[in-house]
Amino acid sequence: MSLQDNGSEERSQDDDDILVLREPDDWHVHFRDGDMLSFVADHTARQFARAIIMPNLVPPVTTVAAAEAYRTRILSALPEGRRFMPLMTAYLTDEIDAEEIATGFKDGVFTACKLYPAGATTNSAAGVTDVRKIWPVLERMQSIGMPLLIHGEVTAPDIDIFDREAVFLETVLTPVRAAFPDLKVVLEHITTEDSVRFVEASGPTLGATITAHHLRIDRNALFEGGIRPHAFCLPVAKRRRHKEALRKAATSGNPKFFLGTDSAPHPRHEKESACGCAGIFSAPTALESYAQTFEEEGALDRLEAFASEFGPRFYGLPLNTGTVTLRRRPQDVPDLMGNDTVHVVPFHAGETLAWRFEG
Ligand code: DOR
Ligand code: ZN
């Protein structure tokens, strides 16, 4: 990374700082399908060289053929000449075929498998009802070096929604780690200090992604002056002290924590509803949002490793060789984005961000 300024003593509006980073990757994103895919795909592809694409479509992506077809739809949703590599994932179900998974991984179609506990979040009804049902699949994944990506929340109705992640660590992740110590696991979109400590204390086969929004909102944001559906995502934002722990972890330089936006667009009317969908659409200003947090933490010099190095190293993939540029120039985020068919409220709607992505 290089942080350049023009060396003059006094900064004016024209003396913009420029942040040049190795091209980053997004290790967790929802692209959806159809009109929504067409609208959102390039918001990610313009900022990131690669992204791990979540498989929670309806029906979910459970076969090599479905993943290949989805990858083709993603690539055709991008503008001519855009260089972007979607990294496809398989959606684990109770009945998932270990052979299919392994074939897809060997052939370079699947990069990883995603574990959604059944009922944990959007389009997770077909997810895994009991992790022991997929023990043989995890065994196979461990033996071939295929990473497991986890939505780490229990779904038992008697567990308080704010405790679902912490209880998952104890009741699901601990036994999985004990049974499969060499299985590469990414605990996705962590939201608690408990998860930070768990990941820190684990061996090198456990990593975690951290979203841009969990670094900026705590659970107060959900109720600021009324109910705020655009701040609702899963896992739900927790108390302030958890957000502070996430900010420390992300900016610490610990390679076990890396960038994954969990950008999850929903049409505005499905968020602003009596039963609003979970998900925050952060893709349009993802890097700017992370940059703002890292700057506030005095850690801009660590943004590049978090965004562009720790993820590929964990996955065993090459680092990107190009660069992207952010400029310190105020950017107003619109209240609403979209086109004739799709309307989505972005993260940071109506705010002004300090940095601007330039390409
Ligand atoms: O907030 C979320 N939205 N969390 C998830 O786990 C899924 C995602 C979605 O697909 O909308
Ligand atoms: Zn997600």
**78 CA from centroid of ligand 1 (Å):** 23
Neighbours of 164 (CB within 10 A): 21
For residue 15, pLDDT beyond 60: no
How far is 99 from 137, CA to CA, in rounded Å? 9
Query: What pLDDT does residue 36 have?
Result: 98
Domains and CATH numbers, the chain: 18-357 (3.20.20.140)
Both tokens of 319, joined, read 């680092």
| Ligand 1 contact via 30 beta carbon (within 6 Å) | yes
Q: Which helix (H) or strand (E) holds 158?
A: none
Q: Report angle CA 155, 126, 56 to the nearest 5 degrees.
A: 95
122 lines ligand 1 (CB under 6 A): yes
* 3 state SS of 58: coil
Active site amino acids: 262
Ligand nearest to the backbone CA of 279: 1
Residue 261 CA: which ligand is closest?
2
Q: How far apart are CA 190 and CA 206, in angstroms?
A: 12
Distance CA 330, CA 334 (A): 13
Closest alpha carbon to 191 in 214, 163, 160, 168? 214
Question: Mean of the pLDDT values across residues 256-270?
Answer: 98
pLDDT of 6 over the 90 cut: no
Bridge partners of 258? 209
For the Cβ of 60 lying below 6 angstroms from any atom of ligand 1, the answer is no
With cut-offs at 50, 70 and 90, classify the pLDDT of residue 149: very high
pLDDT above 70: residue 82 = yes
The pLDDT value recorded for residue 308 is: 99
Ligand 1: residue whose CA is nearest its atom 4? 234
Give the pTM: 0.96
Q: Is 151 in the pocket of ligand 1 (CB under 6 A)?
A: yes
What is the DSSP secondary structure assignment for residue 128, as one 8-state letter? Answer: B
What Å distances lie between residue 252 and 3, 17, 303, 311, CA to CA?
19, 23, 10, 15
Instruction: Tell me the pLDDT band of 122, cut-offs 50, 70 and 90.
Output: confident
